[in-house]
């Protein structure tokens, strides 16, 4: 009951001195608003970035062959020099082979759902008489094509039979169809497409037309006629055309949904290097998951946000000093009130609690205003940047807790000074 009465007395004091109370809260408001705005902005950007990266396959692992560093050398003075990778070309013995992939599946059958494989054929020009379209051809397996997330407009996707028989069939974009077949997607199905690669023509049959989506990254051509779109063909067709029978320099492992990609990536990398690349002097396996990239980015953004928030939090210290200052002034003004209460039997603890609660209420009200202001500022900035606002709940809880702490810490000295007043001297105070 005594606590509630002290809270009401604190609010009565705030109403009695509105301008002074607002100026006292200003440091708290600015500090809390800055911290909340920075943490909310950081969380909003982190959420948007991680969602975008997760949609790219957070549970997938990219595995590739990389060159080993040639080691380090320590001089007599104790200085260590590291040497970079050897400039060595991949040979047939360095590629990831089907045998290695089968062994990996056999060992981790419950963790691997499949492999997304591709073979880059290169850039070329598709022609039909005087009409042409720029293309970038790539061979893909079924898993890779599924990951591509293409929107099929007409025709069909590449089938398992296309893969097995290495058929010369392709999926073309609607942009290519517009440039060569006058935009008639249905008419393009079944037609032969001649593509020039390195001064040699290759003929393919169009079996499907997909919707082309321009990338948001990189530079785009000023002319639609020069737009280069992807021509998808069976993986075995592409490997046959590039004469690649050695294996793969890079691939993507599709893991089960309940598998931690970052942990399994490290485990698979260690196994492959131990089992297959232990005697390879120039190359080794490197595995990286989007999950680990997301985790690293989250840690980096969180560290930056906390560092900036800590700097902004210095104003909270200034605000706390302001609270202490105004409480000392308030105690001086209410010396007779304190003396009267003590003369009527009020204990030192009651006097102390009254002024501590007043300081806490000042900080809490300032904290709530600061939280609302901070979220508002962050919402405006995130909307302007095109992100969805994501209020930082840990930041809000931390700010409220810190407001209470500031009220108690900076309010205790003035409250203790009031509690220790001599009632006779207080009553005589003019």
For 185-210, the DSSP string reads: HHHHTT-EEEEEETTEEEEEEEEEEE
Residue 47: pLDDT over 50: yes
CB-based contact 407:368 (threshold 8 Å) = no
The predicted model gives 277-302 an average pLDDT of 80
Q: What is the pLDDT of residue 206?
A: 95
Q: What is the pLDDT of residue 217?
A: 38
Model pLDDT for residues 365-403, shown as the tens digit of each residue: 888 888 899 888 888 888 887 777 777 787 788 777 877
The predicted model gives 123-148 an average pLDDT of 89
Q: Is 73 helix (H, G, I), strand (E, B) or coil?
A: strand
Residue 21: pLDDT over 70: yes
Question: Distance of CA 163 to CAs 36, 103, 142, 159, Å?
Answer: 55, 22, 8, 7
The predicted model gives 407-425 an average pLDDT of 77
CB-based contact 287:269 (threshold 8 Å) = yes
Query: In terms of pLDDT, which residue wins out, 125 or 22?
Result: 125
pTM over 0.75: no
Question: Distance of CA 152 to CAs 13, 57, 185, 208, 225, Å?
Answer: 70, 21, 11, 7, 22
Categorize the per-residue pLDDT at 424 as very low, low, confident or very high, splitting at 50, 70 and 90: low
Residue 79: pLDDT over 80: no
Q: What is the pLDDT of residue 52?
A: 61
Taking CA 324 as the corner, what is the angle to CA 322 and CA 327, rounded to the nearest 5 degrees? 110
The predicted model gives 190-201 an average pLDDT of 91
What are the residue ranges of helices labelled H in 84-135?
Answer: 98-107
Categorize the per-residue pLDDT at 204 as very low, low, confident or very high, splitting at 50, 70 and 90: very high
> What element of type H or E holds 136?
strand 131-140
Q: Is 411 helix (H, G, I), strand (E, B) or coil?
A: helix
Taking only Cα atoms into account, the Rg of the chain, rounded to an integer number of angstroms, comes to 35
Categorize the per-residue pLDDT at 139 as very low, low, confident or very high, splitting at 50, 70 and 90: very high
Distance between CA atoms of 382 and 417, rounded to whole angstroms? 46
Categorize the per-residue pLDDT at 220 as very low, low, confident or very high, splitting at 50, 70 and 90: very low
Model pLDDT for residues 333-360, shown as the tens digit of each residue: 777 777 777 777 777 777 788 778 888 8
Q: What is the pLDDT of residue 430?
A: 55
- What is the β-pairing status of strands 192-197 and 250-255? unpaired
Of 139, 141, 140, 137, nearest to 122 (Cα)?
A: 137
Neighbours of 394 (CB within 10 A): 9
- At 73, give phi and psi (nearest 5°): -130, 135
CB-based contact 95:65 (threshold 8 Å) = yes
CB-based contact 283:369 (threshold 8 Å) = no
Question: Mean pLDDT of all residues in the chain?
Answer: 81
- What is the β-pairing status of strands 118-128 and 192-197? antiparallel
Work out whether the CA dihedral 63, 65, 69, 71 comes out positive or negative.
positive
Distance between CA atoms of 389 and 39, rounded to whole angstroms? 11
The predicted model gives 156-172 an average pLDDT of 94
CB-based contact 403:364 (threshold 8 Å) = yes
What interhelical angle do 18-55 and 2-16 show, nearest 10? 110
The predicted model gives 324-341 an average pLDDT of 78
Q: Is 252 helix (H, G, I), strand (E, B) or coil?
A: strand
Q: What is the pLDDT of residue 311?
A: 72
Contacts of 133 (CB under 8 A, 6+ apart): 125, 126, 175, 176, 179, 180, 229
Distance of CA 416 to the CA centre of its chain: 48
What are the residue ranges of helices labelled H in 181-289?
Answer: 185-188, 235-242, 261-275
Q: What is the pLDDT of residue 219?
A: 40
- The domain spans of the chain are 2-53+297-428, 60-113+258-289, 118-242
Question: Distance of CA 359 to CAs 316, 374, 412, Å?
Answer: 14, 22, 9
- What is the β-pairing status of strands 250-255 and 152-155? unpaired
Which of 79-83, 262-266, 375-379 bottoms out in mean pLDDT, i.e. has the lowest? 79-83
Neighbours of 283 (CB within 10 A): 22
Q: What is the pLDDT of residue 224?
A: 58
């Amino acid at each position: 009951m005594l606590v509630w009465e002290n809270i009401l007395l604190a609010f009565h004091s705030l109403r009695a001195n509105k301008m002074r109370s607002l100026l006292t809260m200003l440091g708290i408001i600015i500090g809390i608003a800055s911290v909340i705005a920075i943490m909310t902005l950081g969380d909003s950007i982190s959420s948007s970035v991680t969602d975008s990266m997760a949609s790219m396959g957070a549970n997938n692992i990219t595995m590739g062959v990389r060159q080993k560093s040639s080691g380090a050398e320590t001089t007599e003075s104790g200085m260590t020099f590291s040497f970079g990778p050897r400039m060595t070309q991949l040979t047939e013995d360095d590629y990831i082979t089907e045998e290695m992939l089968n062994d990996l599946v056999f060992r981790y059958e419950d963790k691997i759902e499949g492999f997304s494989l591709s073979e880059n054929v290169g850039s070329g020009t598709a022609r039909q008489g005087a009409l042409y379209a720029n293309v970038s051809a790539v061979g893909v397996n079924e898993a890779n094509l599924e990951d591509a997330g293409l929107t099929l407009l007409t025709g069909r996707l590449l089938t398992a039979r296309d893969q097995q028989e290495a058929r010369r069939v392709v999926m073309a974009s609607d942009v290519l169809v517009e440039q060569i077949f006058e935009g008639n997607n249905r008419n393009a199905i079944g037609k032969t497409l001649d593509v020039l690669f390195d001064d040699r023509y290759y003929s393919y049959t169009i079996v499907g037309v997909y919707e082309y989506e321009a990338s948001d990254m990189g530079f785009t051509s000023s002319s639609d006629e020069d737009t280069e779109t992807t021509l998808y063909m069976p993986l075995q067709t592409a490997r046959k055309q590039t004469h690649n029978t050695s294996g793969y320099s890079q691939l993507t492992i599709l893991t089960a949904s309940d598998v931690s990609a970052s942990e399994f990536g490290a485990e698979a990398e260690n196994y492959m290097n131990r089992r297959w690349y232990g005697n390879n002097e120039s190359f080794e396996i490197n595995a990286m998951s989007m999950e680990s990239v997301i985790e690293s980015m989250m840690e980096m953004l969180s560290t930056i946000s906390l560092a900036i928030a800590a700097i902004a939090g210095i104003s909270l210290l200034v605000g706390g000093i302001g609270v202490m200052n105004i409480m000392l002034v308030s105690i001086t003004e209410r010396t007779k009130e304190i003396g009267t209460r003590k003369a009527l039997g009020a204990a030192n603890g009651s006097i102390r609690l009254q002024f501590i609660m007043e300081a806490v209420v000042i900080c809490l009200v300032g904290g709530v205003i600061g939280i609302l202001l901070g979220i508002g500022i962050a919402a405006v900035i995130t909307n302007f940047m095109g992100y969805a606002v994501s209020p930082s709940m840990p930041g809000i809880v931390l700010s409220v807790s810190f407001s209470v702490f500031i009220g108690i810490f900076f309010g205790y000295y003035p409250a203790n000074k009031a509690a220790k007043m001599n009632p006779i001297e207080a009553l005589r105070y003019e």
